[in-house]
Structure 1
Amino acid sequence: MISGLPWQAGIMLGVTGYIAVRYGLGWCMSTFGGPESQALGSALTDGAYAPIAWLLLGACWVAALVSFLDNRRRKHLLGAQNGLTALSAMDWREFEMLIRRAFRLQGYSVREAGLVDTDSGVDLILCKDGQTTLVQCRQWRTRLVDVKLVREMYGLQVHHHADAVKIIAIGNYTDDAQRFVNGKPIELICGSALLAMVRENPQPASIL
């Protein structure tokens, strides 16, 4: 199929096909054929096959557009995959530092949980506009973050009277975990959303 070709090839094929059908076919028949073919060729040269030529051009260009969009999607997925691989290969301290810098760029005041003697389930404490957010970082890629961990973070939020919770994961979350956060001030960040957040940081972004 044309959509399986590079999009540039689809555009060129459409232009070539249009010229061949619109002008080339009639010219060949009127030049090299017999009297009947020459008469038919003259009719074709006058535009009898113009609708078919335009239809061929449009079909090729639509296929080229499909190829272009598919190519962009594959590049995006590949870039995301490579970025997540780089994050999972980092030392956990480097990963946490990356997240800390990303939140600071968003205007948060960031404290390490260990420095304020809070529960070990919290890695960072964010403050912004008078609100406090607890953050937990999970550098897992092959494991799903389950609802148990999310419930624990919700309990910590209530215990510390925090305003919100953010859980950072390289991988994904179970369906139960995603359902649990509905209506609660808990944000689950992972995958492409995580990459978009850290790539706003001009220093660590070079590793992705």
Structure 2
Amino acid sequence: MARRKKSGMDAIASMPWPVGVVLGIAAYWCIRHGIGMYFTSFGGPVLKGVGQQASGGAFGLIAWMALALCWIAAAASALGSHRRRKLLETRSGLDSLRGISWRQFELLVGESFRRRGYSVEENGGGGKDGGIDLIVRKDGRRELVQCKQWKNSRVDVATVREMWGLKAHHDADGVHIVCIGDFTPDAARFATGKAIHLVSGTSLLEQILAVQSKPVNKPETALTQPLRESPAHACPACGSGMVRRTNRRNGQSFWGCSQYPRCKGTVAT
């Protein structure tokens, strides 16, 4: 896949958004103040004149433009990060993987790698399902990723051979081929014993579910301070005394085991 050449804003937008904010401030200071200070201190007569003009605000507009461009790229980074997180958090089954576009599928795969501690470089451009879509790095290893959103066919051995050749060409440490469906037996045999990771739709879904944010499970009953213990009520589970408690959800009272949370026995009042 022919790789699209990135602009400076593309490069900043691919970084975490705080980096873009800091770069914008640094660029503004260097252009607005740093150039003038440097030329005035170390330049000859001509450069000192340029430095004096720079210190007087000659490059002020350029400084503001650099700041604005960096912050626009930072905003794009923050928006993209939010979209990727939402895309990953809303996947729940194979149908939810099949129902997204090929570009969203690549973003989803990239986000799943990020959640597992990889740094991810999106290759960009190149059309559907061609060549290297992502370059991921972790623990000093650089690996190539190809995303195949084929819904009705299995990935064949030719695709796996192609990625194996790209691994050698780019001197990568390994390759990942990620698809929604599955791989042919020939493809699986070719990958055996090689640094080729074949990720089927089922395996991808398992990876996604494993890195999704876990919801905070609130207990159904929130316990108030014990009102009194009742020797007349013995816990049906462990025989300990019972404590009168209130169910926050419906306001009803009940007898709960005094040994909670070790024992969760209850008796209706």
Give the TM-score normalised by the residue count of structure 1. 0.54
CA contact (8 A) 2:142 2:173 kept: yes
- Partner AA of 1:136 in structure 2: Q
Structure 1: runs of 5+ lacking an equivalent: 1-81, 204-208
CA distance in 1, matches of 2:165, 2:201: 25
* Residue of structure 2 in register with 1:87 after alignment: 97
- Contact 1:102/1:200 (CA < 8 Å) preserved in 2? no
Aligned partner of 2:145 among 128, 135, 143: 135
Partner of 1:169: 179
Q: 1:99 aligns with which of 109, 115, 129?
A: 109
- The DSSP-based 3-state class of the residue aligned with 2:198 is strand
> What residue identity is the alignment partner of 2:154?
L
- What is the rounded CA distance, in whole Å, between the counterparts of 2:95 and 2:212 in structure 1? 19
Q: Please identify, of 175-184 and 87-96, the stretch whose mean Cα deviation from structure 2 is larger.
A: 87-96
CA deviation after TM superposition for structure 1 residue 153, in Å: 0.2
Whether the aligned pair in 1 keeps the contact of 2:178 and 2:199 (CA below 8 Å) is: yes
Alpha-carbon separation, structure 1, partners of 2:111 and 2:211:
7
Task: Give every structure 1 segment of 4 or more consecutive aligned residues whose post-TM-superposition deviation is greater than 2 Å.
Answer: 200-203
CA distance in 1 between partners of 2:211 and 2:121 (Å): 18
Counterpart of 1:190, as a letter, is S
State the distance in 2 between where 1:160 and 1:113 align: 14
Higher RCO (CA < 8 A, seq sep 6+): 1
Query: What CA RMSD, in Å, does the superposition of the two structures yield over aligned residues?
Result: 1.6
Deviations 1:37-67 (A, max 9, x none): xxxxxxxxxxxxxxxxxxxxxxxxxxxxxxx
Native 8 Å contact 2:178 2:201 kept in 1: no
The alignment partner of 2:210 has SS state of coil
What amino acid sits opposite 1:202 in the alignment?
Q
- Equivalent residue in structure 2 for 1:121, among 131, 141, 149: 131
Match of 1:59 in 2: none
Among 190, 197, 202, which residue is 1:187 paired with?
Answer: 197
Greater share of strand residues, 1 or 2?
Answer: 2
Q: Find the aligned partners of 2:210 and 2:107 in 1 and give their Cα distance.
A: 14
The one-letter amino acid of 2:93's match is: G
C-alpha separation in 2, matches of 1:137 and 1:162: 17
In structure 2, distance between residues paired with 1:97 and 1:200: 17
- The separation in 1 between residues aligned to 2:212 and 2:188, in whole angstroms, is 31
Q: Deviation per CA, 1:85-139, whole angstroms, max 9, x where unpaired?
A: 1111101121111111110010000001238xxxx50000001111111000001
Q: How does 1:10-21 map to 2 (within 5 A)?
A: none
Unaligned runs of 5+ in 2: 1-91, 214-269
Q: Does 1:108 align with 2:148?
A: no
1:201 deviates by 4.1
Identity across the alignment (%): 49
Paired amino acid for 1:188: L
TM-score, with length taken from structure 2:
0.42
- Give the 3-state SS of the residue equivalent to 1:161 in structure 2: coil
In 2, the alpha carbon distance for the partners of 1:158 and 1:108 equals 21
Give the whole-Å Cα distance in 1 for the aligned partners of 2:161 and 2:179: 15
Report which of the two has the higher share of helix. 1
Helix, strand or coil for the counterpart of 2:93?
helix
Q: Which amino acid aligns with 1:166?
A: H
